């Protein structure tokens, strides 16, 4: 039996789904953000199933975002539970602040290179710093290799690295039941943003290997998931996904439409990613500068791959222009 525990977050995405696996060991998948309100609601949600934090024996983390791992330290200390995560994710969980700082450095360089004004970049950096308090760090007592298995008395979960939404996205697949704990890999009501973060190795690419192509990575992962026979995906936000193939096909169609739209803007005249984001979303390109930049760059990567646009740098700022 797997129970959904819906935990509040201070973020735009709304509540996060944590999952209580009633098995041996008693397992919590994802923790919610590091806030008193999240902790309070988590305790109440556990109590509804006759459980306390102290009863937890295993904590599993699906990926590196703060709404999924913020409480990990408090929960691990109070329960003594083992902490399981993809081996590539372990260093991030063990020093969350340092990992976040590295990601912010990458984000800052990317934003400046793609035409976002310095004052916007500076403002966003301080917002990001203030968000870090919702994160948390703890020792990962059980690092999991891609392709390995996490065993329980009554089930076995295959560990699958499917990066794209984040470099550490991990699926936990119950092949026998056809169910998968998906984190934010596939969400029914929103298209997961492939946020550009520092690669962590493996399928997410090597750290320092140039600009990460998050959307390409994500689409490769989605293609792998599309091939799986699944009854249900239990997502990190929103309702269970019961038809993953249709949803993934919808996502591919959406990315294709967006890429064509952006291709059209570039054909009109060379533009920076920031100019493209402004043309598409107006002021949101300022308030959500990094999110929209990642969105634009992801689709530009599709066009670059097809040889339809080219990248030209002048004075430290990149503009995209029609190729051929
Ligand atoms: Zn996420």
Q: For residue 13, how far is its CA from the centre of ligand 1 (angstroms)?
A: 9
Q: For residue 323, how far is its CA from the centre of ligand 1 (angstroms)?
A: 34
| Predicted confidence (pLDDT) per residue in 79-105, tens digit | 999 999 999 999 999 999 999 999 999
C-beta separation of 63 from 183 below 8 A = yes
**pLDDT confidence band for 321 (50 / 70 / 90):** very high
Q: For residue 147, how far is its CA from the centre of ligand 1 (angstroms)?
A: 21
Strand-pair category, 58-60 with 82-86: parallel
The pLDDT > 70 percentage for the chain reads 100
Q: For residue 2, how far is its CA from the centre of ligand 1 (angstroms)?
A: 21
Angle between helices 273-281 and 244-268 (to 10 degrees): 110
**pLDDT confidence band for 8 (50 / 70 / 90):** very high
- Which chain residues have CB less than 5 Å from ligand 1, an ion? 65, 184
Q: For residue 254, how far is its CA from the centre of ligand 1 (angstroms)?
A: 20
Q: Is the peptide bond before 25 cis (omega within 30 degrees of 0)?
A: yes
Q: For residue 58, how far is its CA from the centre of ligand 1 (angstroms)?
A: 21
Give the C-alpha separation, 185 to 292, whole Å.
Answer: 19
Q: pTM of the prediction?
A: 0.95
Task: Give CA 280 to chain center in angstroms.
Answer: 23
Q: For residue 63, how far is its CA from the centre of ligand 1 (angstroms)?
A: 7
Q: What pLDDT does residue 12 have?
A: 84
| Predicted confidence (pLDDT) per residue in 285-300, tens digit | 898 999 999 999 999 9
pLDDT, average across residues 229-257: 97
CA distances from 237 to 37, 135, 182, 191, 229 (A): 18, 18, 10, 11, 21
Q: For residue 282, how far is its CA from the centre of ligand 1 (angstroms)?
A: 25
| Predicted confidence (pLDDT) per residue in 24-65, tens digit | 999 999 999 999 999 999 999 999 999 999 999 999 999 999
Q: What is the mean pLDDT of the chain?
A: 96
Q: For residue 275, how far is its CA from the centre of ligand 1 (angstroms)?
A: 26
Instruction: Kindly tell me if the per-residue pLDDT of 324 is higher than 80.
Output: no
Q: For residue 67, how far is its CA from the centre of ligand 1 (angstroms)?
A: 7
Give the C-alpha separation, 264 to 269, whole Å.
Answer: 9
pLDDT, average across residues 137-160: 98
| Predicted confidence (pLDDT) per residue in 270-281, tens digit | 999 999 999 999
Q: For residue 128, how far is its CA from the centre of ligand 1 (angstroms)?
A: 15
Strand-pair category, 232-235 with 142-144: unpaired
Instruction: Count CB atoms within 10 A of the CB of residue 69.
Output: 31
| Predicted confidence (pLDDT) per residue in 247-266, tens digit | 999 999 999 999 999 999 99
Give the C-alpha separation, 83 to 79, whole Å.
Answer: 11
Give the C-alpha separation, 204 to 212, whole Å.
Answer: 8
């Amino acid at each position: 039996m797997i129970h959904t525990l819906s935990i509040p977050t201070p973020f735009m995405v709304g509540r996060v789904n944590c999952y209580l696996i009633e098995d041996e060991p008693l397992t919590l998948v994802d923790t919610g953000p590091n806030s008193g309100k999240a902790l309070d609601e988590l305790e109440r949600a556990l109590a509804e199933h006759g459980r306390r934090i102290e009863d937890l024996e295993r904590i599993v983390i699906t990926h590196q975002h703060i709404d999924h791992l913020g409480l990990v330290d408090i929960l691990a200390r109070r329960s003594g539970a083992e902490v399981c995560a993809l081996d590539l994710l372990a260093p991030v969980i063990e020093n969350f602040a340092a990992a976040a700082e590295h990601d912010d450095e990458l984000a800052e360089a990317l934003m400046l290179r793609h035409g976002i004004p310095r004052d916007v970049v500076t403002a966003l950096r301080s917002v990001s710093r203030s968000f870090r308090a919702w994160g948390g760090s703890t020792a990962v007592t059980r690092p999991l290799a891609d392709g390995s298995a996490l065993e329980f008395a009554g089930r076995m979960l295959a560990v699958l690295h499917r990066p794209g939404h984040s470099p550490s996205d991990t699926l936990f697949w119950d092949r026998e039941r056809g169910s998968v704990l998906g984190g934010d890999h596939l969400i029914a009501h929103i298209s997961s943003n492939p946020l550009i973060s520092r690669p962590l190795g493996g399928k997410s690419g090597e750290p320092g290997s140039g600009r990460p192509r998050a959307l390409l990575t994500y689409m490769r992962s989605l293609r792998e998931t599309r091939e799986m026979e699944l009854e249900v995906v239990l997502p990190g936000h929103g309702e269970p996904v019961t038809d993953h193939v249709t949803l993934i096909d919808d996502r591919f169609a959406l990315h294709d439409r967006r890429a064509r739209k952006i291709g059209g803007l570039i054909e009109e005249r060379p533009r920076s990613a920031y100019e493209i984001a402004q043309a598409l979303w107006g002021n949101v390109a300022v308030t959500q500068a990094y999110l929209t930049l990642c969105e634009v760059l992801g689709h530009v990567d599709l066009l670059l791959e097809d040889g339809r646009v080219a990248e030209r740098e002048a004075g430290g700022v990149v503009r995209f222009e029609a190729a051929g």
